[in-house]
Amino acid sequence: MYFKLAKDLNLSSPKIVYSVDESNSQFIVTLKTDQLGKNVFVITNSENNFSDNYFDMLPNTEKTIFIEKDLSQDLKSFTDNLSIKTLTDSYKK
């Protein structure tokens, strides 16, 4: 819970790094952040949904999420089309 509206929070832009692995049926995305990641949103061109999306990450934490594979995607095409946004991306350049 935050005591201010999201637009009034003084947030730094986090550095979120990620890795992607795969199983037979899923892509596995592991995210790590150096500072607060507010409203982390993971975007891909898949028609499937991630196991979790639009979440906060505390500093120096790791989170793993999953998404079912599309038949047309391999690991490289999935990774090439993956992007990560946070609240700060909506207003900071």
Q: Is the pLDDT of residue 55 over 90?
A: yes
* CATH, residue 70: 2.60.40.10
pTM score, two decimals? 0.89
* 57, pLDDT greater than 60: yes
Residue 5 lies in a domain: no
8 Å CB contact between 81 and 57: no
Instruction: With H, G, I as helix, E, B as strand and everything else as coil, classify residue 8.
Output: helix
Q: Is residue 32 part of a domain?
A: yes
At 58-89, the pLDDT tens digits run 999 999 999 999 888 899 999 999 999 999 88
Q: Is residue 70 in a domain?
A: yes
Q: Residue 67 sits in which domain range?
A: 14-90
What's the chain's length in residues? 93
Is residue 6 included in any domain, yes or no?
no
Give the count of domains, the chain: 1
Asked if residue 9 belongs to a domain, the reply is no
Helix (H) or strand (E) holding 79: helix 75-80
Q: Report yes or no on 57 lying in a domain.
A: yes
How far is Cα 33 from Cα 27, in angstroms, rounded to an integer?
20
What is the three-class DSSP state of 91?
coil
Task: Determine, yes or no, domain membership for 7.
Answer: no
Determine the pLDDT at residue 17: 97
